[in-house]
A = this chain, B = another copy of it.
Amino acid sequence: MSLIVQKYGGSSVADAESIKRVAKRIVDTRSAGNDVVVAVSAMGDTTDDLIDLAHSVAERPDAREFDMLVTTGERVSMALLAMAIKDLGFDARSYTGSQAGMITDSKHGDARIVDVTPVRVREALDQGAIAIVAGFQGFNRDSRDITTLGRGGSDTTAVALAAALDADVCEIYSDVDGVFTADPRIVPLAHKLDHITSEEMLELAANGAKVLHIRAVEYARRQGVTLHVRSSFSDLPGTIVYNPERAEEFEVEEPMIAGVAHDLTQAKITVSGVPDVPGKAAQIFAIVAEQGANIDMIVQNVSGRGTGITDISFTLPKAGAEKVKRALEEAKDEIGYEQLTFTEGIGKISLVGSGMRTNIGVSARLFEALRDAGINIDMISTSEIRISITVRAELVTEATRVIHSAFGLDADHEAVVYAGTGR
């Protein structure tokens, strides 16, 4: 008998019919002899609706009250799910983040989990019941207030529970079939992966892939939790995201490249003609950090215009990029650069694969493929198992397809594309 944690996203519980369908799936899992714990998101667009409601009553909604408000979404879906399961004749109980022992720090809107003590959940399982836990929320012991976990919160809830309860697997359900080699909405020949290492999944998630949130992937990796990314609309197996401990089960068949992620949420700033003296980069990025921006790629090249000056380019999320631009413009004399260029018209593409460690020529193949397609590469940035490039935004789709083909990832047939959001 296994202990299975299942997470159902908003699209999987969007209405009464979906809730009943999910209840049936949960009951089938239980009937097969497993202990089942479920983390559930708010129904459909509820969270967005509640956020809109908050902004319609206040210009700057208070953070504590905001968390109290938005967490009602998961309370509604967890209670309805428990009701539907009980109506099918199985014992089920719902638990808020607080009742499930999801203890966090006090940072409303983006709380960190500091401890997970799912005592009541464990008791429910011991009594043969199914436990339904509200995703996306926790409890701060000091203030005794409800908190929300920030983006990817419900995935994180599921993984945290799986880790604390020593679950055999954590199934993440959404409206997509699993992890694909690229976003099937821009690469029709993308195919679903049967399995992927957690390290590769981390790189894909950190670089644009939306099916799993990076935070949940990190947590699973750190805690040794195996993830199974599946669709709640079918019974097909999805994608297993596994950790190094389980490598032997999968590695024999592991392809060199896992997939290609793309990211259109970045903007690029180039500070050119910076005096090439120690401390200038530090000065620039201190100003950037003050604005709270999360820098992604950084590239520094000695300027073609001569020795003694350099150009520094970096990418950052579009949201908040204007602030950074203005701050750097105000500091022009202080830094002493010649010119600042800002563009939102860029896209980042990342090729990810564990095989890069041991295979040479990957970058060569990548650059040749893009050269042959006449696509110009702007910035390049790498990690042990990832190569990222930036191109003009309007070329991202074509470039992604070119790279996908060049590395033999194309399926025999086009992927069936749902209007799915991957949530």
Contacts and interface: CB of A to CB of B under 8 A. Distances in A.
Nearest to A50: B76
A121 to B, nearest CB: 13
A60 interface: yes
Contacts of A58: 80, 83-84, 86-87
B64 A93 contact: yes
A83 B66 contact: yes
Nearest to A43: B53
Contact of A53 (B16, B54, B82, B144): B16
A65 interface: yes
Size bracket of the A interface? 35 or more
Interface in A19-52: 19-20, 23, 50
A231 B216 CA distance: 50
A94 interface: yes
Contact of A57 (B60, B64, B80): B80
Nearest to A96: B68
Nearest to A68: B79
A335 B144 CA distance: 59
A151 B156 CA distance: 39
A64 B93 CA distance: 8
Given A84-B57, A144-B99, A69 B62 contact: no
Contacts of A19: 57
A62 to B, nearest CB: 5
A303 interface: no
A56 interface: yes
Contacts of A62: 82-83, 86-87
A249 interface: no
A80 B68 CA distance: 9
Contacts of A99: 144
B94 A82 contact: no
A71 to B, nearest CB: 8
Interface in A170-185: none
B84 A76 contact: no
Nearest to A76: B72
Given A53-B16, A83-B54, A94-B65, A75 B78 contact: no
A61 B83 contact: yes
A130 to B, nearest CB: 12
Given A16-B53, A54-B80, A80-B53, A69 B75 contact: yes
A419 to B, nearest CB: 24
Nearest to A74: B72
Contacts of A16: 53, 56-57
Given A58-B87, A84-B58, A87-B58, A66 B79 contact: yes
Given A50-B76, A57-B81, A72-B75, 13 more contacts: A16-B53, A16-B56, A53-B76, A53-B80, A54-B79, A57-B83, A58-B83, A58-B84, A62-B83, A65-B94, A68-B79, A72-B79, A75-B75
25 contacts: A16-B56, A16-B57, A19-B57, A50-B76, A54-B79, A54-B83, A58-B84, A61-B83, A62-B86, A62-B87, A65-B82, A65-B83, A66-B79, A66-B83, A68-B78, A68-B79, A68-B82, A69-B79, A69-B80, A69-B83, A71-B75, A72-B72, A75-B75, A99-B144, A120-B144
